[in-house]
Amino acid sequence: MGTKEKALALIREVGVVPIVRASSPEDAFRAAEAIVAGGVGIAEITFTVPNATRVMERVAERYADRVLLGAGTVLDPESCRAALLAGAEFIVTPALDVRVIEVARRYGKPCFPGALTPTEVLAAWQAGADMVKVFPCGPVGGPKYIRALKGPFPQIELVPTGGVNLETAADFIRAGAAAVAAGGELVDPKALREGRLDAISENARRFVEAVRRARQEGALGQAG
């Protein structure tokens, strides 16, 4: 299994992609630390974080063997390349830019472009997306929208973002999501500002547990 396949396998297995958005590089690094401490070996650092590539470098250096590092809010091919050189192992975009997918593929890394409509989801998949980030998912129907998309697109792995919290994570998984991505609901900005990293670690654990339970219930339902 190659590194790209291993990355995808881990995301499928864990089922949760914690998104780190923070107002300072130090807060972003602390958030990543808290996620790792919570036992979740995946963290996505967004380009909205000041000096985001430096944060990625620090996380990659510190936790190389303990975290699958992603870059989020990647808006152009130049940012994509910079993130990959900083140690990012997967790329996430808020909207579809085929050029970003092409750069990620050139480096052998997974790319999850953002899409919303059926047309965009199909276009992203046809352009080589490994999974498709459905964003913003909450305002357009949440889990019901994912279930609707999976009807015509059972072969496309969807990662809903926006509207994912501890109450809805299980519903998204039951609706057919391959994984869920969560930002502020998991990396609580208030807890981060107050230095309560244990709260973020606990949140991360609870998200993973919610996904695990939903999958277990689904497997039991199919067996029955």
- Catalytic residue list: 44, 133
The token pair that represents 126 in the structure block: 């046809």
Q: List alpha helices for the chain, DSSP H.
A: 3-14, 25-37, 52-62, 77-85, 98-106, 118-126, 143-150, 169-174, 189-193, 197-223
Instruction: Name all contacts of 149-153 with Cβ < 8 Å and 24+ positions apart.
Output: 149/118, 149/121, 150/175, 150/176, 152/118, 153/118, 153/121, 153/122, 153/125
Please give the DSSP secondary-structure letter assigned to residue 161. B
Report the half-sphere exposure of 5 (CA within 13 A, side-chain side): 2
Instruction: Residue 112: name the closest of 78, 139, 73 by CA.
Output: 73
